[in-house]
Amino acid sequence: MARCAWRRAELEMAPPVLTVAQHGAVGAVALNNPPVNALSHPLRLALLDALSNLYADPAVQAIAVWCEGRTFIAGADIREFGKPALLPDLPDVVEFLDRAPKPVVAAIHGTALGGGLELALACHFRIAAADAKLGLPEVTLGLLPGAGGTQRLPRLIGVRASLEMIIGGVPVPAHQALSLGLVDGVFEGDAKAAALAFAERAIAEKLPVRRVSELCARLDEPLVFEEYEEKLAREWRGFLAPFRCLRAVRAAVELPFDEGLKRERQLFSELMASSESKAQRHAFFAEREVAKVPGLPENTPARPVRSAAVVGEGATAREVAQCFADAQLPVTVLAETADALDRCLYAIREHYTSGVARGQWSRAEADVRLALIRPALSYEELASADILIEAGAEELDAKREVFARLDKVGKPSAIFATSAGSVDVDALAAATRRPEAVVAMHFASPPDRKKLLENVRGGSTGADVFATVMKLGKTLGKVAVPVRGSVAERLLARSSREAYLLLEEGASREELDRAFQEFGFRQAPFASLGLAAVDAGSPQPQELGVRRGKISADEILERCIYAVINEAALALEGGVVARPLDVDLIWIHGHDFPVYRGGPLFFADQVGLRTIYDAILEYQRRFGGQHWSPAPLLERLVEEGRGFYAQAR
């Protein structure tokens, strides 16, 4: 390929991201671009160069591609998104691979995601390690597979299965990929050995080049697109990408391959420029960045956590115990009395049984989880647990007593946590002889639907202890956010108070729900609270001189969301939370803020802080300054013309 010659100089400057070798008549290409072999620009250049040499070499009769390190290619390099395109782009490389004049096999281990799977789809054969996973998760970034994935996948596995993979975004395990026809074989062990063996077989058996692009995408079920349209309208309101994914797959059926590719490209570019995708990509990066705790060195050693204990018998204790069992970690549940313990275990069994009925997990999986939960009636039975979590006592004094007892039985390396978010961690720490071992882990409820875990660091919490609970959050499948006190509860209280006042001023419950749903919430964040009980100490609209009347949806949203933004600015300024991204994740994963709006502070930047500031001043004029005073941080950012993240517009 001509473009490869003029890129050679650039290539020599690039780090060694792949190696090429010859094994007999097999050209062997090993990609090595840690941590996840993302298809960054240097890798694309190197791959194109390596392939063009192998295509031209008459001694090479087949090509084997695999990856070094922990995984096959995890996708396009998302750090390049939103920046000027660097050629060759991913579709260039994928199409070049498709046109290979000799058989190419890809051996997949770990995860083949996004552009990684698209690249594998352009190979003529694919094999996968038995524990590998293959998927097209672009929809979760507000995108669609933009390197031929929407055109090749339906040609290989059919329309319905493709829609499930592309719109669902959930990777499939290797054995399922085999039964779908997505891979040609499953191997055990080393990807390199498997790739070379398959390529040698292709040569020996003279296997022909089989281009997926030359297959036909048949529409076996004529109404499948209509069915999906209805499903999307029901389940994906507000999102853009699932609807564009559907259109792209439709193009695979209705258009010749090259035309379909063009349509895919056009839809991809549209999504890439959309505010929805920008917000979803922001959330994706925030979810990775959040693990880097300010002030906590990245190499801080974490203590091993192989088992846990939970003290309590109510819903929180049950839910926390279930989180550990769901993550395959043994957990002991301690209750005060045999009756209470029985009730708790009964509720846990009910939870897993209803999950089986809903198809959430199989009976066998439920039994495995249940077997990991061990009942206990004495503190001594908790002695071997790596982390002991208090999840029941109501009062601070009762909690302190539990902590003192845990301290007596816990082994020297044990960590002591409370599941309460707003409790004074230092007061609990003072009840033990090892305050450095004390921390809070506040799970958003219900934890099987909400991924937020607020890890609250006390004044004396040890660095290694905090590193441990942050890492543990990931093991439990949570988005763990470091805080100095529960921000989720604080923000919820602020928006609930506003909702309460809106009701008092004449808005109906339905109007509130509708406004929030239109904005993109599945339900208003305070829906689970009894609003009459919210903030009994709030000033009454009479007191405030407010007349009851019709309230617009805009005002409902402004007051409930701007109040949260202002409160978040106060929390940031007070050091309760360190970064705007922490706030965004707290509200997305704790209270269902629509991810395609990026979280309240990302959203605030889109609206413009000046607009929000002015609105707050207007509410201050109407309702007084007790609850409507712009946070000093907000005021400062407005004066400086900045946003929470970037320059304000």
For 492, other C-beta atoms within 10 Å of its C-beta total: 22
The reply on whether position 115 binds ligand CAA by CB under 6 A is yes
The reply on whether position 36 binds ligand CAA by CB under 6 A is yes
Task: Report the residue number, 112 or 560, with the smaller CB distance to ligand CAA.
Answer: 112
User: What is d(CA 366, CA 232) in angstroms, rounded to the nearest whole number?
Assistant: 30
Task: Report the residue number, 97 or 414, with the smaller CB distance to ligand CAA.
Answer: 97
Catalytic residue, from 10, 68, 118, 221: name it.
118
Tell me which residues in 133-152 interact with ligand CAA (CB under 6 A). 137-138, 141, 143, 145-147
The reply on whether position 122 binds ligand CAA by CB under 6 A is no
Q: Is 118 a catalytic residue?
A: yes
Please answer whether residues 600 and 279 qualify as being in contact, where contact means their C-beta atoms are separated by less than 8 angstroms.
no
Task: Report the residue number, 191 or 333, with the smaller CB distance to ligand CAA.
Answer: 191
- DSSP lists the bridge partners of residue 442 as 454
CA distances from 454 to 258, 308, 310 (A): 49, 18, 17
From the CB of 389, what's the least distance to ligand CAA, in Å? 24
Tell me which residues in 286-325 interact with ligand CAA (CB under 6 A). 288
Please answer whether residues 325 and 372 qualify as being in contact, where contact means their C-beta atoms are separated by less than 8 angstroms.
yes
Task: Report the residue number, 50 or 74, with the smaller CB distance to ligand CAA.
Answer: 74
Task: Report the residue number, 75 or 600, with the smaller CB distance to ligand CAA.
Answer: 75
Tokens of 614: 């002015």
From the CB of 61, what's the least distance to ligand CAA, in Å? 30
The reply on whether position 253 binds ligand CAA by CB under 6 A is no
Catalytic residue, from 10, 68, 95, 138: name it.
138
CA distances from 133 to 136, 138, 454, 605 (A): 10, 15, 30, 37
The reply on whether position 76 binds ligand CAA by CB under 6 A is yes
The reply on whether position 509 binds ligand CAA by CB under 6 A is no
User: What is d(CA 112, CA 65) in angstroms, rounded to the nearest whole number?
Assistant: 13
Burial (Cβ within 10 Å: 0-12, 13-18, ≥19) of residue 141:
buried
Tell me which residues in 433-472 interact with ligand CAA (CB under 6 A). none
438-443 and 452-456 as β-strands: parallel, antiparallel, unpaired? antiparallel
Pick one of 18, 28, 38, 425: the residue that binds ligand CAA (CB under 6 A): 38
For 357, other C-beta atoms within 10 Å of its C-beta total: 8
From the CB of 579, what's the least distance to ligand CAA, in Å? 15
Ramachandran quadrant class, 20 (left: phi over 0; alpha: psi -120 to 50; beta: rest): beta
From the CB of 423, what's the least distance to ligand CAA, in Å? 30
The reply on whether position 79 binds ligand CAA by CB under 6 A is yes
Using DSSP, state whether 28 is helix, strand or coil. strand
From the CB of 179, what's the least distance to ligand CAA, in Å? 23
Alpha helices per DSSP H over 297-337: 315-326
From start to end of 429-561, where are the E strands?
Answer: 438-443, 452-456, 479-483
User: What is d(CA 16, CA 11) in angstroms, rounded to the nearest whole number?
Assistant: 9
Tell me which residues in 41-70 interact with ligand CAA (CB under 6 A). none
The reply on whether position 425 binds ligand CAA by CB under 6 A is no
From the CB of 626, what's the least distance to ligand CAA, in Å? 42
User: What is d(CA 341, CA 345) in angstroms, rounded to the nearest whole number?
Assistant: 6
Q: What is the DSSP letter of 562?
A: I
Alpha helices per DSSP H over 158-256: 159-168, 174-180, 191-204, 224-235, 241-254
- DSSP lists the bridge partners of residue 19 as 30
26-31 and 172-173 as β-strands: parallel, antiparallel, unpaired? unpaired
From the CB of 471, what's the least distance to ligand CAA, in Å? 11
Pick one of 27, 31, 63, 77: the residue that binds ligand CAA (CB under 6 A): 77
CA distances from 291 to 69, 479, 482, 575 (A): 22, 9, 8, 17
User: What is d(CA 369, CA 345) in angstroms, rounded to the nearest whole number?
Assistant: 12
Tell me which residues in 364-383 interact with ligand CAA (CB under 6 A). none
From the CB of 154, what's the least distance to ligand CAA, in Å? 16
Q: How many residues belong to the site for ligand CAA (CB under 6 A)?
A: 22
Task: Report the residue number, 35 or 58, with the smaller CB distance to ligand CAA.
Answer: 35
The reply on whether position 410 binds ligand CAA by CB under 6 A is no
Q: Is 95 a catalytic residue?
A: no
DSSP H or E segment with residue 356: helix 338-357
Task: Report the residue number, 280 or 419, with the smaller CB distance to ligand CAA.
Answer: 280
From the CB of 546, what's the least distance to ligand CAA, in Å? 48
The reply on whether position 35 binds ligand CAA by CB under 6 A is yes
Task: Report the residue number, 97 or 147, with the smaller CB distance to ligand CAA.
Answer: 147
From the CB of 144, what's the least distance to ligand CAA, in Å? 8
Pick one of 33, 61, 111, 455: the residue that binds ligand CAA (CB under 6 A): 111
Task: Report the residue number, 297 or 459, with the smaller CB distance to ligand CAA.
Answer: 297
The reply on whether position 113 binds ligand CAA by CB under 6 A is yes
Pick one of 31, 74, 452, 607: the residue that binds ligand CAA (CB under 6 A): 74
Pick one of 18, 26, 78, 310: the residue that binds ligand CAA (CB under 6 A): 78
Pick one of 49, 60, 63, 75: the residue that binds ligand CAA (CB under 6 A): 75
Task: Report the residue number, 18 or 62, with the smaller CB distance to ligand CAA.
Answer: 18
User: What is d(CA 424, CA 457) in angstroms, rounded to the nearest whole number?
Assistant: 10
Tokens of 154: 């339906």
User: What is d(CA 288, CA 299) in angstroms, rounded to the nearest whole number?
Assistant: 16
Task: Report the residue number, 127 or 141, with the smaller CB distance to ligand CAA.
Answer: 141
Tokens of 373: 């939960």
Position 211: which residue type? R
From the CB of 470, what's the least distance to ligand CAA, in Å? 12
User: What is d(CA 251, CA 260) in angstroms, rounded to the nearest whole number?
Assistant: 5
Q: What are the residue numbers of the active site?
A: 118, 138
**Interface residues toward ligand CAA, by CB under 6 A:** 35-36, 38, 74-79, 90, 111, 113-115, 137-138, 141, 143, 145-147, 288
